[in-house]
């Protein structure tokens, strides 16, 4: 089932379709005014559906609603579409994308104002990136789901948020046969010596950035 079918199906069978519409609008991070413009209706109609003041939407309205969300997301770079279609557990995945050309890791480091803690393998190219919630990824990913982080190529940078000491992500990488081209911690509390040592053993550059995650996603997406 693709994302369009999932959204439309949830609204159609929901006991409170307006509430479900609001859930998906907020999931796509679309303001009412932007959605109403894309649907060619007034913002008050969106509010009426979501509050239940207007009767349940028909099939035509649901189709229009879903199409508008998808098109808005595509215009923004398709982040939500990529997250749902990647196969990675959605609650842990923040962004995933592949480049259509090789990007030298030094460009990525510069784009995120990165600090390199382990320089082994730093002179390499990446083919894409994956950004995950560090805690949720470690707690919820199965062995097979971990492999999905790599998309079509392991030559990618894996970004982790919510990192405390940096040990857990590197231990998970250490025991898995697939290795990323680089590991980046976003606003880590600190990076201890064990994390750096594991990165050096695996010949993986370990990088940190203090940029907020949304800014990181914009910066690395701009390298495409």
Both tokens of residue 19? 């509430």
Distance (Å, whole) CA 65 – CA 82 = 19
- List the domains of the chain with CATH numbers: 3-82 (1.10.260.40), 86-221 (3.40.1390.20)
pLDDT reported for residue 224? 74
pLDDT reported for residue 155? 87
pLDDT reported for residue 88? 65
pLDDT reported for residue 77? 78
pLDDT reported for residue 150? 65
Whether pTM exceeds 0.75: no
pLDDT reported for residue 126? 94
From first to last of its 224 residues, what are the pLDDT tens digits of the chain? 578 888 899 898 988 999 999 999 998 889 999 999 999 999 999 999 999 888 888 899 999 999 999 999 888 878 788 777 766 666 778 888 888 889 999 999 999 999 999 988 899 999 999 898 877 776 666 656 666 666 656 788 999 998 888 888 888 888 888 889 999 999 999 899 999 999 999 999 999 999 999 999 999 998 87
Query: Which alpha helices (DSSP H) does the chain contain, by range?
Result: 3-13, 17-27, 32-39, 43-51, 59-75, 79-85, 105-111, 134-140, 143-147, 167-175, 193-201, 213-221
Residues in contact with 5: Cβ distance below 8 Å, sequence separation at least 6, in sequence order: none
pLDDT reported for residue 87? 64
């Amino acid at each position: 089932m693709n994302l369009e079918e999932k959204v439309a199906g949830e609204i159609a069978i929901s006991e409170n379709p307006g509430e479900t519409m609001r859930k998906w609008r907020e999931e796509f991070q679309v303001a009412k005014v932007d959605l109403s413009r894309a649907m060619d209706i007034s913002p008050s109609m969106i509010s009426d559906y979501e509050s239940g003041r207007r009767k349940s939407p028909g099939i035509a309205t649901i189709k229009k609603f879903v199409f508008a969300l998808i098109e808005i997301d595509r215009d923004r770079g398709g982040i939500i579409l990529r997250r749902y279609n990647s196969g990675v557990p959605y609650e842990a995945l923040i962004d995933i994308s592949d480049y259509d050309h090789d990007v030298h890791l030094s460009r990525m480091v510069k784009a995120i104002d990165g600090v390199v803690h382990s320089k082994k393998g730093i002179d390499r190219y990446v083919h894409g990136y994956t950004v995950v919630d560090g805690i949720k990824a470690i707690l919820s990913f199965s062995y097979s789901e971990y492999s999905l982080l790599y998309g079509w190529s392991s030559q990618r940078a894996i970004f982790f948020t919510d990192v405390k000491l940096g040990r857990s992500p590197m231990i998970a990488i250490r025991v898995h046969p697939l290795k990323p081209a680089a590991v980046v911690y976003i606003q880590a509390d600190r990076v201890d010596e064990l994390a750096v040592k594991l990165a050096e053993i695996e010949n993986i550059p370990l990088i940190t950035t203090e940029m907020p995650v949304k800014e990181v996603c914009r910066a690395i997406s701009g390298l495409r």
